[in-house]
Amino acid sequence: MSQIEIRPIRKLEAEFSVPGDKSISHRGIMLGGLAAGTTRLRGFLPGEDCLSTLHALQALGCRIDRVAPDEVLIEGQGGKLLAPAEPIDCGNSGTTMRLLSGVVAGFPFTTRLFGDASLSRRPMGRIAEPLRQFGAEILCEGSGDRPPLSIRGAQLRAIRFTSQVASAQVKSCVLLAALQASGKTTFSEPTLSRDHTERLLPAFGASFRTENRSLILHGPQRLEATELDVPGDFSSAAFWMVLAAGLRGSKLTLRRVGLNPTRTALISALLRMGAGILEKVEQSTPEPLGTITVTGTESLKATSVAGKEIPNLIDEIPIFAVAAALAQGTTEIRDAAELRHKESDRLAVVAKNLRLFGVPVEEKPDGLLIEGRCQLVGAEVESHGDHRIAMSAAILGLFAKGKTVVKDTACIETSYPGFSKQIALIQELGR
């Protein structure tokens, strides 16, 4: 079993970049597969989740060549995907399963999607409902609305759909199906979720409009191939940002990081805590990217996150909890019940792991109360097969007295290949 051993460091002085954005890599592969012509995707994240999407599009008839570890050429099918010869393995990737369901819903064949044990526990009713309204037949073969999924595509008709949760995956699934549906599809959600799909659609020649906080797309639409540079993943940068912010005298510069404002709520939260952070946007379309500079502060202070801020912070909550453990006072996280349906029950697991380090935590149905600035002690912690849990525990170990061991770290490969080498280098530099 793979593991990472961590010793505390004194400060961090470094400049580097992080791997490509996972969300954009997924969407670039899918849109490129639907488009006519050859799409070039530079900065592609070669993590296991994105490779699941790549292999899925290959199974649907797309030729995809890896011309470099982080660069792919996608021979799009011009909206004419082929029936897969066998069920498609989505691995651990909820994004692959949920978005791909929208892709295949409009094609006249049956697609079966399955995944690993973790993915098989994640709810799929939230995407099955709108796809059924479009006219596709969806069977959730697992308990309740759990995978595997069997999707029998059909000639889709436009729908008006209001999501009960702010979810970029639900929104993207609906928009991908709407590209193939006849008529005007209208999508609404309670608050704005990440908007990567909306930013990428025009790059592939699609059009839609926003009206009274709803997205309106007239289908069917034909996509055209493009060239796309994927920025560094903000969620990956977040681990190093929290590390630098919590180490007095540190300075960290991260280059070519995605700065999409629907992804950067962590910056706002850390600024409220007193962190020194500067961001400089150097490219605005289709995705903003630029440089983040973080300087360590004398002492972080507690804050609260809740409501509309949560959808744009949802993936960063595990590492935000690390910042909370370093801060003076009690930090409150609310309205984050969605975290119970990720690769692990992230609220429960974050609480459990923080306590192992000596951090007092109260778990709520939809959040956490974290009392910071206690004496951190090294611990042996489990990843629970969750990449963000594993990396967050490793970062916290850099602040803890003694040795920390994070077990079962192979899951990190789903989103951040090279993390183990990076944290080993940082330990060498920070002694």
Spell 372-384 as b/e; 16+ CB within 10 A means b: bbeebebbebbbb
Q: Please name the residues in contact with 88: beta carbons below 8 A apart, sequence gap of 6 or more.
A: 55, 56, 59, 60, 100, 111, 112, 113, 114
Q: Which residue has the tokens 């956490």?
A: 368
Query: Is 164 annotated for ligand binding?
Result: no
Is 344 annotated to bind a ligand? Reply is no
Place of tokens 């202070």: 301
Paired with 41 in beta bridges are: 72, 228
Confirm or deny that 171 is annotated as ligand binding. no
Is residue 122 annotated as involved in ligand binding? Answer: yes
Q: What is the CA radius of gyration of the chain?
A: 21
Q: Angle between the 94-104 and 168-178 helix axes, to the nearest 10 degrees? A: 20
Of 21, 49, 195, 315, catalytic: 315
346 among annotated binding-site residues: yes
Q: Binding site annotation covers 315? A: yes
Residue 169, marked binder: yes
Judge whether 116 is annotated as a binding position: no
222 is in an annotated binding site: no
Q: Does the annotation mark 116 as catalytic?
A: no
Amino acid at 233: D
User: 167 labelled as ligand-binding?
Assistant: yes
Residue 373 known to bind ligand: no
Neighbours of 220 (CB within 10 A): 16
The strand pair at 160-162 and 183-188 is best described as parallel
Burial of 83 (0-12, 13-18, 19+ CB in 10 A): middle
Indicate which residues carry an active-site annotation: 315
Cite the annotated binding site by residue number.
22-23, 27, 94, 122, 167, 169, 315, 342, 346, 388
Binding-site annotation: residue ranges for phosphoenolpyruvate: 22, 94, 122, 169, 346, 388
| Binding positions for 3-phosphoshikimate | 22-23, 27, 167, 169, 315, 342
